[in-house]
Structure 1
Amino acid sequence: MTPTTAAAARPAARTLPQPIHYGQRTGVTARILGCGLNLPPHELDNDALAEWHGLSARERVQLRALTKLSGVRRRYYVEPGTTHTELAEPAALRALEAAGLEPEEVGLLLFCATGQDQAIPHNNTLLQDRIGARNAFSFDVKNICASFATGLHVAAQFIEAHPEVAPVLVVSSEVNSPFLHRGHTHLYNIGVLGDGAAAMVLGATDNVGREGFVAGIHRVDPSGKELIRITGGGSRVLERDGVPADIANYSFWTDPQGLYAKAVETFVPAMLELMEATGWRFEELRWVVPHQAAKHGVFGVAAEAGVPKEKVYATFPFFGNTASASLPMAFAHAVAEGAIERGDRILLACPGAGAVSSAITLIY
Structure 2
Amino acid sequence: MTRRAVVQGVGHYLPERVVQNCEFEKTIDTSDEWIRTRSGIERRHFVAPGQTTTDIAVLAAEAALRDAGMVAADVDAIIVATSTPDLTFPSVATMVQGRLGMEQGFAFDVQAVCAGFAYALANANALILSDQAKTVLVIGAETFSRLMDWTDRGTCVLFGDGAGALVLRAEEGAGTNADRGILATDLRSDGRHKDILYVDGGTSTGTTGHLRMEGKEVFRHAIEKLAETAHAALDKVGMSGEDVDWIVPHQANIRIIEGTAKRMQVPMERVVVTVQDHGNTSAASIPLALSVGKARGQIKRGDLLVAEAIGGGLAWGSVVLRW
Same fold (TM > 0.5)? yes
8 A Cα contact 1:92 1:199, kept in partner? yes
Which residue in the other structure is 1:23 paired with? none
The question of 1:196 aligning with 2:165 is answered: no
Query: Which of 286, 311, 317 is the matching residue for 2:276?
Result: 317
The one-letter amino acid paired with 2:227 is V
Which residue in the other structure is 1:327 paired with? 286
SS of the residue corresponding to residue 145 of structure 1 reads: helix
The Cα of 1:81 is off from its aligned counterpart by 2.3
Q: Which whole-Å CA distance do the structure 1 matches of 2:147 and 2:49 have between them?
A: 11
The question of 1:29 aligning with 2:13 is answered: no
Which residue in the other structure is 1:146 paired with? 115
Comparing both structures, which one devotes a greater share of its residues to strand?
2
8 A Cα contact 1:114 1:142, kept in partner? yes
The Cα of 1:323 is off from its aligned counterpart by 0.5
SS of the residue corresponding to residue 2 of structure 2 reads: coil
The question of 1:178 aligning with 2:146 is answered: yes
Q: Which whole-Å CA distance do the structure 1 matches of 2:210 and 2:286 have between them?
A: 23
Which residue in the other structure is 1:305 paired with? 264
The Cα of 1:265 is off from its aligned counterpart by 4.0
Query: Which of 194, 215, 235 is the matching residue for 2:203?
Result: 235
Pairs within 5 Å for 1:151-162: 151-162=120-131
The Cα of 1:93 is off from its aligned counterpart by 0.5
Pick which of 142-151 and 294-303 moved more.
294-303
The question of 1:41 aligning with 2:16 is answered: yes
Pairs within 5 Å for 1:255-270: 255-270=214-229
- Give me the TM-score of the superposition, normalised by structure 1: 0.84
SS of the residue corresponding to residue 187 of structure 1 reads: coil
The one-letter amino acid paired with 2:291 is A
8 A Cα contact 2:44 2:159, kept in partner? yes
Which residue in the other structure is 1:55 paired with? 27
Q: Which whole-Å CA distance do the structure 2 matches of 1:321 and 1:133 have between them?
A: 30
The one-letter amino acid paired with 1:271 is A
Which residue in the other structure is 1:79 paired with? 48
Percent of paired sites with the same residue: 29
- Give me the TM-score of the superposition, normalised by structure 2: 0.94
Query: Which of 88, 95, 100 is the matching residue for 2:69?
Result: 100
8 A Cα contact 2:246 2:306, kept in partner? yes
The Cα of 1:206 is off from its aligned counterpart by 1.1
Q: Which whole-Å CA distance do the structure 1 matches of 2:131 and 2:85 have between them?
A: 28
| Deviation by residue 1:271-291 (Cα, 9 ceiling, x = unmatched) | 222222222232322100000
Superposed CA RMSD in Å reads: 1.7
Q: Which whole-Å CA distance do the structure 1 matches of 2:157 and 2:59 have between them?
A: 26
Pairs within 5 Å for 1:201-220: 201-207=167-173, 208-209=175-176, 210-220=179-189
The Cα of 1:314 is off from its aligned counterpart by 0.7
| Deviation by residue 1:31-52 (Cα, 9 ceiling, x = unmatched) | 10001110101011112344xx
| Deviation by residue 1:175-196 (Cα, 9 ceiling, x = unmatched) | 011222222xx31322211000
SS of the residue corresponding to residue 288 of structure 2 reads: helix
Query: Which of 104, 122, 127 is the matching residue for 2:91?
Result: 122
SS of the residue corresponding to residue 234 of structure 2 reads: helix
For structure 2, the residue ranges without an aligned partner over 5 or more in a row are none
The one-letter amino acid paired with 1:314 is V
8 A Cα contact 1:291 1:326, kept in partner? yes
The Cα of 1:161 is off from its aligned counterpart by 0.8
Q: Which whole-Å CA distance do the structure 2 matches of 1:288 and 1:279 have between them?
A: 17
Q: Which whole-Å CA distance do the structure 1 matches of 2:94 and 2:233 have between them?
A: 34
For structure 1, the residue ranges without an aligned partner over 5 or more in a row are 1-25, 239-244
SS of the residue corresponding to residue 173 of structure 1 reads: strand
